[in-house]
Amino acid sequence: MPGQVELYTSASDSLKKIIKKLEKDLNFHFVIVHLIDSMQIFDKFRFLASLTLSLSAVVGMDSPMINLISKVDMLG
C-alpha cells in the first residue's frame, strides 16, 4: 500500500538502525516482546498466525524475542 510503513520489516530498516546504534553507542540491550491474547491459543489457526507474525518480527529486527500470553486469568 502506498504511504504505509512497517517498521519491523526489511522494507524499512530505520528502526533497526536506531536500535543497533543505541546498542553500540550507549551499550543498551533490547528485547522484543510479542503479546498474544490467551483466547488465540485455543484456535490452532489463530495461534499459528500469531507465532508466524512473531517469527517475521524477530527475523526482521534481528533481536532476541519473548512471546507472552496475556489475560491468562481468563483461562479456565
- Within a 10 A sphere around the Cβ of 60, how many other Cβ atoms? 19
Q: What angle do CA 62, 70, 60 make, to 5 degrees?
A: 15
Cell numbers for 69: 500470553
Q: What one-character DSSP code corresponds to residue 16?
A: H
> How confident is the model at residue 38, as a pLDDT?
83
Q: Does 14 score more than 60 pLDDT?
A: yes
Q: pLDDT of 18-67, one tens digit each?
A: 888 888 999 888 888 888 888 888 888 988 888 888 888 778 777 888 88
Q: Does 1 score more than 70 pLDDT?
A: no
Answer for the pair 8, 61: CB distance below 8 angstroms, yes or no: yes
Q: Does 13 score more than 50 pLDDT?
A: yes
The contacts of residue 64 (CB under 8 Å, 6+ apart) are 30, 31, 32, 58
